[in-house]
Amino acid sequence: MGGLAMFYWWNPYYLIFMAPALLFMLYAQWRVQSAYAKWSRVPNSRRLTGAQTAQAIVQQGGGPNISDGGDLGGVGLRGIAGELTDNYDPRTNTLSLSQSTINSASVASMAVVAHELGHAQQDMQNYLPLRVRTGIVPMVNIGAQLGPILFIIGFFLNFTPLVWLGIAFFSLAFVFALITLPVELNASRRAMNLLADNNLITDDQERRGARAVLNAAALTYVAGMLTALLQLLYYIMLASSGRRRRR
């Protein structure tokens, strides 16, 4: 059984399943780096740094077109190390900006800040997909650690219920990626609105640059969802093949 299990675990179908996702992920990361590098060299017309952009949006309450109480007041701001490590934490209502964003007066930094404040706006408006994503994070973390272990043990012991329990745990990663995609796309749409409503982008070049940065970032979430899906299908293929072989 050990040799058979190893045969299925190191099945060449792994490359068939995962190679497209890995290549797409590399392409998406290249797009992000390329777009960010290009537009980080283009100054925005207002000459506002990332920190000043955040302050401008927050002080105006998220823009005049918010009709359902989406006030952004009270958002904390702090700097963090790294590049493109920017994030919004709904647990502390804090916007963390990387050093490459917080001090840069570029079109790229303006787009990144607006995207993260789009998440803050989602938080203030109790945007359901964001709430669901935040709520399942503990289960996803447990599933990511426990799922593969249960699968491997069940596979080697020829215990089918444990194999499928492992797959069920691991599937939470795909669910998380699936929910994350609309959350991020919605944050990017809000970002463009925040920039326009607060007169932070004033011409077609800035608008095109901000959209290019945001669209490139969206590709990484598509790649993440595809990777999680194909890895889940690979586990299912192993489990189904093993069951047929044992009959």
User: What are the tens digits of pLDDT across the range 59-111?
Assistant: 875 533 333 334 456 788 889 998 889 999 988 888 999 988 999 999 999 99
**CA distances (Å), origin 246, targets 10, 13, 174, 213:** 18, 19, 28, 51
**Total domain count, the chain:** 1
pLDDT at 71: 45
For residue 6, pLDDT beyond 60: no
pLDDT at 12: 72
Cα separation, 50 vs 59, in Å, equals: 14
For residue 148, give the amino acid letter: P
The residue-averaged pLDDT of 168-186 equals 95
Strand stretches in the chain, DSSP E: 76-80, 87-89, 94-98
Instruction: Of 115, 79, 73, give the one whose Cα is nearest residue 96.
Output: 79
Cα separation, 151 vs 17, in Å, equals: 18
pLDDT band at 234 (very low <50, low <70, confident <90, very high): confident
Q: Is residue 233 left, alpha or beta, with left meaning phi > 0 and alpha meaning psi from -120 to 50?
A: alpha
pLDDT tens, residue by residue, 139-151:
999 998 898 889 8
pLDDT tens, residue by residue, 193-211:
999 999 999 889 999 999 9
The residue-averaged pLDDT of 45-49 equals 94
pLDDT at 242: 59
What global pTM score does this model have?
0.84
Per this entry, what is the length of the chain? 247
Per-residue tokens: 191: 């970002």
Domain that holds residue 222: 2-246
Asked if residues 79 and 148 have their Cβ atoms less than 8 Å apart, the reply is no
Indicate if 116 belongs to the active site. Answer: yes
pLDDT at 76: 85
When mean pLDDT is compared over 5-9, 13-17, 62-66, the highest value belongs to 13-17
**CA distances (Å), origin 150, targets 33, 139, 232:** 37, 15, 14
Asked if residues 87 and 67 have their Cβ atoms less than 8 Å apart, the reply is no
